Amino acid sequence: MAGNGFRFFLSCDINLPATFKIERLEGKLSARKPPDSADDCTIEEKKPELYVESLLYIDGAPFGLPMRTRLESGGPSYCWNELITLSTKYRDLTANSQLAVTVYDVSCGKDEEVIGGATIHLFNMKKQLKTGKHKLRLWVGEEADGSINTNTPGKVPKEGRGELERLEKLVNKYERGQIQRVDWLDRLAFKAMERIKERESLKNGSSHLYVFIDFCSFEHRIVFQESGANIIIPSTNEVVTVWDPEVGKINPSEHKQLKLARSLNRGIIDKDLKPSITERKSIQRILRYPPTRTLNGVEKQLLWKFRFSLMAEKRALTKFLRCVEWSDIQEAKQALELMSKWETIDVCDALELLSPVFESEEVRAYAVSVLERADDEELQCYLLQLVQALRFERSDKSRLSYFLVERSLCNIDLASFLRWYVAVELREPTNARRFYSTYELLEENMLKFGPSANGDEDGFKLWQSLVRQTELTAQLCSIMKDVRNVRGGTQKKIEKLRQLLSGLLSELTYFDEPIRSPLAPRVLITGIIPSESSIFKSALHPLRLAFRTASGGSCKIIFKKGDDLRQDQLLENLDLHLTPYRVLATGQDEGMLEFIPSKSLAQILSEHRSITSYLQKFYPDEDGPFGITATCLETFIKSCAGYSVITYILGIGDRHLDNLLLQDDGRLFHVDFGFILGRDPKPFPPPMKLCKEMVEAMGGAESQYYTRFKSYCCEAYNILRKSSNLILNLFHLMAGSNIPDIASDPEKGILKLQEKFRLDLDDEESIHFFQDLINESVSALKLVRKSSSSNSKSAVRGRFASAGAIEPLVSMLHSKMPLAAREAALLALLNLAARNQSVFTLEVSARSQTLSAQMYYSFLDSFYANGGFHLWKMVKLDVDKMICHKDLCIKVSLVANKTKIVAAGAVPPLVELLKNLTGNLRELAAAAILSLSSIPSNKPTIAASGAAPLLVQILCSGSVQGKVDAITALYYLSTCEEEPKLALDTKAVPPLIDLLKECKKYSKFAEKTTFLLEIFSASEEGRAAITRVKGGILALVETIEDGSLVSMSHAVGALLSLCQSCRDKYRELILKEGAIPGLLRLTAEGTPTAQDRARTLLDMLRDSPPEERLTSSELERIVYNFAANVDGKDKAVETAKKLLQGIVQKSMDLSLNRTKLRTSPCTSTKT
């Protein structure tokens, strides 16, 4: 660089080790503690011996080994002047690198005493490397903390710095040459500084300890810069991502032109200027934009030009405020003047003005003034989002917080919910202070309130009743913890719950004073009814609690811990009138839900076979449709339509028959919103969550009731589209929250939500769009239900396979192809393997009951011609036995596609794809391995390919669907009867047990999981892994109690293997988990194999092992060896005799004492 420009080096170019000097310690050491024992030295005997330990931290983690100085005992001024050279080079440092310095004393006592510690960042706020001398204040008695948010900062904060610190900073600049040297003036200045230093030392009394460090200086400043990638991008046929830092930034030329255009027009204002027809159409198009749409320069200029003519259009205000250049004082002033004269906007538009896009305090205050017009019921619908909007305010006590508190003082519902919404956010450290200010403001104002404004209760009593809600939830959390620790099934946990409520925690059955229900604050609850309280059969064991009310009735709630209910709470507060139950999050992983009497569709289908049969039980009508009353069926159809639309718009995932609930009157509703905004653990879910059982209950896809269902769906979709701005604004206000599905990528989530509304279509077009969407979802259901023999798409797959499409697709899986091409080929192969079973049937005449040789060989020709030679095992036909059966039908399933895919060499590239740690390819490859391993002929090839360890990796770190696929694939491979046998890594045991804990014990998934655990229990490493995992044996015991016949058999087999390997080691562990009741039931209700296993295990758990007795010769040998070790072989015989005589005498004395004890009761009675 030329001239007086700033000269610097880049840190990534400095190939030297980081070096610094530990100079000295200043300050008075604190009084020494007395020694712990007489062996320790006393204070007078030894002076402190100090050394300094320094350790480099990079991004909060220690890097390298600690470096120590020599011992220094020349107090009171301890001077080391020792150069420390780290193994890390300057080019390897990050912007968050810190040096942690700790001073130790080793003069007294057995342990090192910490004098104090401090940390210092190696780069300053301007990302420049620190050089020269630095004075670090030690935190007395604490070791240096190298975390990013360190607890031991060595630099004194600005507010704590005095005159001395200011002068020392100037001295550092002087020594670095940043201050011009004037010799005569420098001498005077340094003398004056010495006097100031002495005065400051006397005033402060040297209460602090300081360590001085001198960093290396360079010719120029060192600016932080990471080592960049090679600028030259290698040529490749794959898609390459290029980072462009200017993407998304404002074009400076366009920005300058816009400012100039507005400044020229500012002086000439035509308030009567009207837009032309073309301009009016453009403005109307802009006004229809969703609130998430960003305006470009031309659109902003158009709105600004015709701002005066738009003042009568209330929808235009939010768009106009987006085009204002708020950094321009004159423009901002004019915009605020226009805003005050604008047509008053609606409440939903006011919510948009509270989003993070608008930072002006005047604009946000205007939005609050609009909200003041809303009544309490409407305000309660938006309260959760308004609390989240407090994050975007510029001060802790803002106009919005005062407004919310003021309205809450007159409405106990608002006060209770506001307190809970704010209290939950106090656990988030980033904005805890902001929310605490609102909490404190609410408390202060409620305590001031008198009884006149709130009926019979004054403000103090109201606040205390709200605080007692928190105490109640804390006790419920404690109960849930105790209940979860109970060993055994759900019934045992229910007994423990009722036992706690009736005994140790009996005060919860009758409260000292009524408590306002957290879900319905106007309802006073007086205690819990133990006999009506229960626990749901679920992995998290939520409590179903029945409370007495002050009015003499009861109310039921669900208390759940372990799930973030704020996501459910967000959906319930959208005021879409779809769900009648309340949700309240009382913490980040706990909360309450209103209990609605209902049953899950899974339970209904298990008990009644169909939804129609269930509804017929409660609302029968012989003349009604399907034997149900017309009102009940209409209720069911409408609720299905409403939920189908809302689950589509909000992108609710993980829908299954256990979280679809149905009431007796036909009202269907959804629960458990753990996946929203398009997230779904299942791959390629249908666009609408519509299960086939729901369609069947409407009479099928061709019935008039299904047509009515589609009509209701389209009507509801158009109604919701009209409220799209409100819904988008509510989600936008939640953008700053840490709710999982929103916090991961708020912008992407809101754009997904916006896309679902299809705001580019009019009402008629949207009806056609949604009808196509319904048809697509129903078609997906039909594809699942149709068998391969009747599916036309399967025939197409067969033609593709026979046309030779498999070999080219397999060749595309190799690493030389682009990732996109490999993914497309993999999807195509999965599609070919999905429906590939062709059934060949040989019918025999019932009249003749004979099977001619011609028919038999004709059948075999057809069999071989269609790929039968690929089969792992030929079906051997016993003609003599077959001709004895009537209506004989021989069916042989051909698995041509899957065997052809493996024969084409697909397994090695699939294994390579399993090594891909990121992206969707690994999950798809696992699904392909699962599909191919279901065929016996493919299992040996896949087992020998090394796929099993990679499937175990997916089991440890994959998605939910990936884990399910990996377990199923391992299950198939474990059943291989040919060599090579599959050897499983015990790393799979912890995730297997975790998944077994979470899944339903009677599911097919649990059967496969317990099968694998039974395999692991056959080896010592596997048994050790099962017992090492917390709750491993308990999961198997719970499966024995609640599982299916197959999973119970595998679970008891695993426990039996444990006990047979080492009875003494595992017997107590199994008994401790309460296995006896389940085993007893299994001996009567299980399969024959499970019954035998259960009986064997019960015998091993009950009987004690036979006592092993020593023979006289063995005892003599043991005593002789002991005597020889003590007195030598010469005296061993004599010593052994004495020991044996002593043993015999001791045995006789013990026998005599026992005899006396047995006879003493008889003697005393006679006496």
**Tens digit of each residue's pLDDT (9 = 90 or more) over 185-217:** 778 887 887 777 777 666 655 568 889 999 998
Kindly give, in sequence order, each residue whose CB lies less than 8 Å from that of residue 841, ignoring residues fewer than 6 positions away: 889, 890, 891
Look at residue 459 in the predicted model and tell me its pLDDT: 74
User: Which residue did the predictor score with more confidence, 5 or 784?
Assistant: 5
pLDDT confidence of residue 125: 87
pLDDT at res. 1059? 84
| 973-1026 residue pLDDT tens | 777 665 445 566 677 788 888 878 777 777 777 788 888 888 888 888 888 888
CA separation for the pair 681, 961 (Å, rounded): 6
Among residues of the chain, what percentage have pLDDT more than 70? 76
pLDDT band at 544 (very low <50, low <70, confident <90, very high): confident
Handedness of CA 839, 840, 842, 843 (dihedral sign): positive
Phi-psi bin for 64: left (phi > 0), alpha (psi -120 to 50), beta? left
State the CB neighbour count (10 A cutoff) for residue 225.
Answer: 15
Contact assessment for residue 178 and residue 170, using Cβ atoms and an 8 Å cutoff: no
Q: What is the pLDDT of residue 843?
A: 39
What residues have CB less than 8 Å from 278, skipping those under 6 apart? Answer: none
Domain 459-594 top-level CATH class: alpha beta
Amino acid at 640: C
The CATH number assigned to the domain with range 599-756 reads 1.10.1070.11
Q: What is residue 894's predicted lDDT score, i.e. its pLDDT?
A: 38
Confidence band for 97, pLDDT divided at 50, 70 and 90: very high
Beta bridge partners of 980: none
- 595: which DSSP letter? -
Q: Which residue has the higher pLDDT, 411 or 158?
A: 411
36-40, 400-404, 895-899: which range is least confident on average?
Answer: 36-40
Q: How many CA atoms lie within 13 A of 413 on its CB side?
A: 14
pLDDT for res 359 = 85
Cβ distance 449 to 409 under 8 Å? yes
The pLDDT of residue 1073:
77
Dump pLDDT digits (tens) for 284-317.
888 888 887 888 878 888 888 888 888 888 888 8
Give the E-state strand segments of 998-1123 in sequence order: none
Taking residues 152-160, report their average pLDDT: 77
Beta strands in 175-220 (DSSP E): 210-215
Give backbone dihedrals phi and psi of 128, rounded to 5 degrees, phi first: -105, 140
Summarize pLDDT for 622-659 with one digit per residue, the tens. 888 888 888 888 888 888 888 888 888 888 777 777 77
DSSP 936: G
Q: Which residues contact 694 (CB under 8 A, 6 or more apart)?
A: 611, 640, 668
pLDDT reported for residue 792: 40
In this predicted structure, the answer to whether residue 350 has a pLDDT above a threshold of 50 is yes
Place of tokens 């999807």: 827
> What's residue 68's pLDDT?
92
Of 48-57, 814-823, 1064-1073, give the lowest mean pLDDT range: 814-823
DSSP 8-state secondary structure symbol assigned to residue 620: B
Nearest to 962 by CA among 1003, 991, 941, 990: 991
Q: Where are the alpha helices (DSSP H) in 904-1000?
A: 907-914, 921-933, 939-943, 947-957, 960-974, 989-998
Q: What is the DSSP string of 1114-1132?
A: HHHHHHHHHHHHHH-STTH
- Segment 104-109 shows an average pLDDT of 80
For residue 17, list its beta bridge partners: 89
pLDDT value for 155: 84
pLDDT digits (tens, 9 = 90+) for 833-877: 664 444 333 433 333 334 444 444 444 444 444 444 333 233 333
Range name among 52-61, 402-411, 604-613, 935-944 with the lowest pLDDT average: 935-944
Q: How far apart are CA 1056 and CA 1091, in angstroms?
A: 12
Question: In the prediction, which pLDDT does 920 show?
Answer: 67
Which residues are CB-contacts of 1149 (< 8 A; sequence separation ≥ 6)? none
Rounded Cα–Cα distance for residues 699 and 706 (Å): 7
For the stretch 1053-1066, pLDDT in tens is: 888 888 888 877 78
Query: DSSP letter at 655?
Result: -
Helix (H) or strand (E) holding 113: strand 113-121
Q: What number is the average pLDDT over the span 696-721?
A: 83
Q: Which residues contact 378 (CB under 8 A, 6 or more apart)?
A: 347
What does the buried/exposed string (b/e) look like for 1133-1164 if buried means 16 or more CB atoms within 10 Å of the residue's CB? eebbeebbeeeeeeeeeeeeeeeeeeeeeeee
What value does the mean pLDDT take over residues 668-697? 74
State the alpha helices, DSSP H only, in 702-745: 704-722, 724-733, 740-743
Instruction: Give the model's pLDDT for residue 53.
Output: 94
When pLDDT is averaged across residues 958-972 and rounded to a whole number, the result is: 76
Instruction: Collect all residues with Cβ–Cβ distance below 8 Å to 153 and sequence separation of at least 6.
Output: 118, 119, 120
Cβ neighbourhood burial of 1009 (10 Å; 0-12, 13-18, 19+): buried
- Direct distance between the N- and C-terminal alpha carbons of the chain, in angstroms, rounded to an integer: 117
Q: What pairing do the DSSP bridges indicate for beta strands 132-137 and 210-215?
A: antiparallel
- Domain 8-223 CATH class label: mainly beta
List 640's β-bridge partners, or say none.
none
Whether this model's pTM surpasses 0.85: no
The side-by-side arrangement of strands in the sheet containing 78-89 is 78-89, 17-26, 210-215, 132-137
Confidence of residue 21 (pLDDT cuts 50, 70, 90): very high
User: How far apart, in whole angstroms, are the C-alpha atoms of residue 365 and residue 505?
Assistant: 49
Residue range 131-160: mean pLDDT, rounded? 85
H helix or E strand, kind and range, residue 452: none
Asked if residues 666 and 636 have their Cβ atoms less than 8 Å apart, the reply is yes
Task: Evaluate if residue 968 carries a pLDDT over 60.
Answer: yes
What local confidence, expressed as pLDDT, does residue 20 receive? 94
- HSE (CB half, 13 Å, CA atoms) of 1106? 3
Among 667-681, 691-705, 949-963, the range with the most confident prediction by mean pLDDT is 691-705
- Report, as an integer, the average pLDDT of 93-122: 88
What's the pLDDT at 202? Answer: 62
Task: Give CATH superfamily name and number for 275-448.
Answer: Phosphatidylinositol 3-kinase, accessory domain (PIK) (1.25.40.70)
Owner of token pair 């409440």: 347
Closest Cα partner for 1023 from 1067, 984, 1068, 989?
989
More confident call, 837 vs 254: 254
Residue that wins the pLDDT comparison between 1147 and 1093: 1093
987 Cβ partners below 8 Å, 6+ apart?
952, 956
The distance from CA 849 to its chain's CA centroid, rounded to whole angstroms, is 64
Q: How many CA atoms lie within 13 A of 131 on its CB side?
A: 17
Residue 1111: its pLDDT value, please?
A: 64
Strand partners, 10: 223
